[in-house]
């Protein structure tokens, strides 16, 4: 287990992992909203190839994890850090508690799989609703 100082360090690192996890979720969710709103408002950046490819890859990773039935690596890392910090795998401090509350819910695993796959289909449908602006190829002069 370690000293109180070491345990505090493990807990702080666990909170940092939760913050990264919450940011990941926020990027996926807010990204979809931005694509839909931005398409209607004719914001050019929401059609950016790199943004859209990264956004799609992020949700497809979540969908793949759900289909395979594996636990998210960030969740596993957080739980490991919390255990090393003397906790039970759930955050007990203010920041950790609220970040966990925002992204974790108590429901059967099939509910999460259905939600992730539905959300993934919504993101895929934006490729049709708000097509990606493909990067221009540079022409070489011969």
pLDDT means per 10 residues in the chain (142 residues)? 83 92 94 97 96 97 94 91 80 60 76 91 95 78 62
The verdict on residue 141 lying in a domain is: no
Residue with tokens 């490991």: 80
Inter-residue contact 72 to 65 (CB < 8 Å): yes
- Write down the pLDDT at residue 131: 93
Inter-residue contact 3 to 85 (CB < 8 Å): no
The verdict on residue 44 lying in a domain is: yes
For residue 10, give its domain range. 4-129
Instruction: Give the count of domains, the chain.
Output: 1
The verdict on residue 69 lying in a domain is: yes
**What's the per-residue H, E or C state across 38-65?**
HHHHCCHHHHEHHHHHHHHHHHHHHHHH
The verdict on residue 139 lying in a domain is: no
- Write down the pLDDT at residue 110: 87
The verdict on residue 41 lying in a domain is: yes
The verdict on residue 142 lying in a domain is: no
The verdict on residue 8 lying in a domain is: yes
- Write down the pLDDT at residue 59: 97
The verdict on residue 52 lying in a domain is: yes
């Amino acid at each position: 287990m370690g000293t109180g100082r070491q345990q505090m360090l493990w807990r702080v690192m666990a909170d940092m992992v939760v913050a990264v996890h919450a940011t990941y979720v926020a990027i996926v969710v807010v990204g979809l909203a931005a694509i839909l709103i931005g398409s209607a408002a004719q914001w050019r950046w929401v059609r950016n190839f790199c943004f859209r490819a990264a956004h799609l890859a992020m949700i497809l990773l979540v969908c793949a994890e759900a289909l395979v039935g594996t636990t998210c690596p960030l969740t596993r890392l957080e739980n490991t850090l919390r255990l090393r910090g003397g906790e039970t795998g759930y955050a007990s401090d203010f920041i950790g508690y609220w970040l966990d509350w925002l992204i974790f819910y108590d429901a059967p695993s099939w509910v999460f799989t259905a939600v992730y796959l539905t959300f993934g289909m919504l993101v895929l449908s934006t490729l049709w609703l708000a097509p990606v602006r493909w990067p221009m190829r540079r022409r070489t002069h011969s």
